[in-house]
Structure formats: C-alpha cells, structure tokens
Amino acid sequence: MRTFLNCSLLLACTQSLAQIGWTTLDAPSTVRYDDIHFIDDSTGWAAGGPGGEIYHTTDAGDSWEVQFASPSYLRCIEFLDELNGFSGSLNGQLFRTTNGGETWADIAENIDPQPEGICGLSAPDVNTVYGCGIWSGPAFVIKSVNGGDDWTYIDMSAYASRLVDIHFITPLIGFVSGTAAETSQGGIVLYTDDGGTNWSPKFTTNTTSDIIWKIQQLDDTHWYGSVFSEPVNDDTRMLQSIDGGMTWTMHTVADTYTYIEVIGFINPEHGWTGGHDQLWETTDGGETWAEVELGFNYNRFFKTNDSTAYISGQRIYRYRGEAPQVGIAEKEEHIVAHKLEVMPNPSDGRFNIRLTIDNPTMVDLVVLAPNGSTVERPMHRRVGKGTYTLPIDLGAAKGAGYVVMVRTNEGMLYRKVLLE
C-alpha cells in the first residue's frame, strides 16, 4: 500500500509539473495561426491565417478539429457566445456563423464600402461588434450594434494610415492601434468613448513607420501594446499603461532589433512579446526581458484565466501554471512564407530584388535608407504566386544600413544591403 501511495503521489507531482510552462498543442503546423479566441476555459477557435481554416476545441486545446476551410487568408476571429462568431479575412471577406462554427457565410457585402481586409475584431457584448484594418492601408473601423446583421463603416484616414488591432471595453469605450496618419509620428493608440464617432490619440511612438500591432487589456488598469518596427531601428520596444489606457510608456525589450507582433501578460509582472523567431519574457512588469524558446511566428496572446493562456503562432501554444521559468515546447522546423533575395550584395547602388511568392498575398516592398525613410517602393499591391524580379538603381548612394524589406499578409522579410 505504501509503495502504491508513493507511486500515486509521484505521478500526481509529475503531472502537476508537466502543466507548468509552455507546451505545443496538437494542432497542425502552418505558416501562422493569426488569431485565437476562447469563450470560456475550454471552448475556443483559431483562425488559420494563410491556410484559410478555422479550428475548434472543446477541451482547452488538448485537441482541435477543422470546422471551416476557406480560400481566404483568415486574420482574426471573435465569438459573441457559444453560437455566434465572426472571422475576418485579408481578402475582403467577413465570415459569420450562428451555429457555433458548423457553417460560415460571407457577409462582407453588407458593409459599404466593403473593406479590403479585416485585421482585428472586438465584441464587448452580444450585440456590439467592431472590426478594423488593414495593415497595408487604408485605415477604417466597422461597427454593428445588432449582432452582425447591419454594419457601419468609419473612415479613419484622418487619424491613421493603417490599423491592425482593436479592443472595446463597453459598446462605447474602446481603443484601436496601428500607424498614425502622419507616418513620422509612428505607431499610434487611438481612444473613443462615444462608439467611434470621435477619436483621440493616447500615444504615438514618433518613430517612422512603427505599427502598434497588438494591444491587450489585462485588467481595469493594465494595458500593453507590441511595437512592430523596421530593421533600420536598433532596438525592440513595447508599450505599457497602468491607468486604463489613458497614458502609455514605452519600454525597451532588447537593444537589438527583433521583429515582434504578439504581446500578452498573465499578471502585471509576468508577460511575453515576440514575433518571427524570437520570444521574450518578463517577470518584473516589463523592466527586464529574457529570450525564451517557444516555436515561431507568434501573433496573438489570449488569456482564459489567472493561470492559463495561449499564443497563436506556427503552432498553438498553451501556458499553464505560474512559475518564473518557461517550459520548453517541442522543437519544430521554422516555416517561412516567401523568399527575398538581393543581388549583388554588396553593390554599386544597382541591384536586383528577387521576390518569390508562395501564395497570393498583399505585398508592400520598400527600400529603406539608414534613417528609416523610404527610398523606393517598387511594389505595393496584391500579387499571385510566382517570382518577381525588380531592378533598383540608387545612383550615388553609398554606405551601410540600407534595407530591402517586404511585408506580406504572412509577415515580414528583410535583407540589409551594403552600397560600395
């Protein structure tokens, strides 16, 4: 009996320890799951990004099933309750379900003008739904006050050049984030207390072409934002508010450049931010950060209770337990969409950009000077699968620090160029 009890205790302790930290869940590997949403501790959905699929779980992520497969890039997902939900695509569709995800219908034609794509969704109650977009411009907010039957389109070009994330606390009070209308003001957080009729800026990063990519409300006072920056900058930053989003401060995550998108805290001290292939963790409220290992291509953090949270990325990752260390998730091969080449490099100012596109997507291709200004924008449009070669002639420009950067629906690639 004593041996049996000892074994039982050991098994219980082992199972408990196995739940501490991050684990990789049993969802197929893809370029990126762009969003994840839970309505309780067990029931959730994930938007499958370029794969166009919606996955569903009823056991807190232990298992996932495909509910819907579309030909569109699915960026965001939000449910009002166990039956009614929405998923926005980067191809102009807004899918709606009224039966828990069993069937979905595109209702984008109910929005005038129809958005080019939807990056963020937020539903503060069962009747009110907001959306925003798009990362490549233009900036807009959409709104429904009757559960998605009818929609209003709000032109946000006076405030922003692009919008990526949105979060409403009540049907009237909420925030959006993206890039300011005057791009030299950088990333922006905008606030409304009248349901989107009027907006006021609460923070700008003042670094050209920053995008405040994701915002998180942890509680009534603590808010966070991730700063998607460009590789001409030499640091990595995030935002924090301790007064309900009325004022914000910017913290340095690393004094080297990291391409980040996700942001999320499980309590005011413990949080994570990251992006393409790096994830950073803080246990002191954002004062210091350390790199941790956990998959790739992170985009959305979603907390379901005080000890459980999820990150959508190349896989879906779950955190359980409160411990200062992060558990190591299983190793996986990093999937990178598309390919960017610069030839020759170094060059005399004349070179070719060769861009290989794996699937139809939006492309924003720029050449940046060392100060972050855009020297050329050889491509800004939707393109199909294929290889594109673009000649560049920068004339007498010399020196290091020039960057060729391409942003797509799937993320960002860049190459530094030396001009001799």
What is the domain partition of the chain in residue ranges?
Answer: 19-320, 339-419
User: What are 151's two structure tokens?
Assistant: 């929609």
Would you state the pLDDT for residue 10?
35
Q: How confident is the model at residue 398 (pLDDT cuts 50, 70, 90)?
A: confident
DSSP single-letter state for residue 11 = H
Model confidence pLDDT, tens digit, residues 117-131: 999 999 999 999 999
Q: What is the CATH number of domain 19-320?
A: 2.130.10.10
Contact between 104 and 68 under an 8 Å Cβ cutoff? The reply is: yes
Give the mean pLDDT of 189-201: 98
Would you state the pLDDT for residue 396?
77
Q: Is the pLDDT confidence value at 326 over 80?
A: no
Three-class secondary structure of residue 385 per DSSP: coil
Give the mean pLDDT of 183-205: 97
Would you state the pLDDT for residue 410?
94
Give the mean pLDDT of 315-340: 76
Give the mean pLDDT of 38-64: 97
Give the mean pLDDT of 46-51: 95
Q: Is the pLDDT confidence value at 288 over 80?
A: yes
Give the mean pLDDT of 247-256: 96
Would you state the pLDDT for residue 322?
58
Rounded to whole angstroms, the Cα distance separating 340 from 410 reads 13
pTM of the model: 0.91
Residue 397: name the closest of 374, 373, 420 by CA: 420
Rounded to whole angstroms, the Cα distance separating 212 from 228 reads 6
CA angle 116, 119, 120 (to 5 degrees): 130
Q: Is the pLDDT confidence value at 331 over 90?
A: no
Q: Is the pLDDT confidence value at 6 over 60?
A: no
Q: Is the pLDDT confidence value at 8 over 90?
A: no
Would you state the pLDDT for residue 395?
85
Q: How confident is the model at residue 7 (pLDDT cuts 50, 70, 90)?
A: very low
Q: Is the pLDDT confidence value at 224 over 90?
A: yes
Rounded to whole angstroms, the Cα distance separating 262 from 245 reads 18
Architecture of the structural domain at 339-419: Sandwich (2.60)
Q: Is the pLDDT confidence value at 15 over 80?
A: no
Give the mean pLDDT of 260-270: 97
Q: Is the pLDDT confidence value at 9 over 60?
A: no
Q: How confident is the model at residue 328 (pLDDT cuts 50, 70, 90)?
A: very low
Residue with tokens 């004593």: 2
Q: How confident is the model at residue 420 (pLDDT cuts 50, 70, 90)?
A: confident
Going from the C-alpha of 48 to that of each of 30, 36, 88, 301, the distances in angstroms are: 8, 9, 11, 15
Spell 295-323 as b/e; 16+ CB within 10 A means b: bbbbbbbbbbeeebbbbbbbbbbbbbeee
Q: Work out the number of other CB atoms within 10 angstroms of the CB of residue 229.
A: 26
Q: Is the pLDDT confidence value at 286 over 60?
A: yes
Q: In the chain, what's the furthest Cα-to-Cα distance?
A: 84
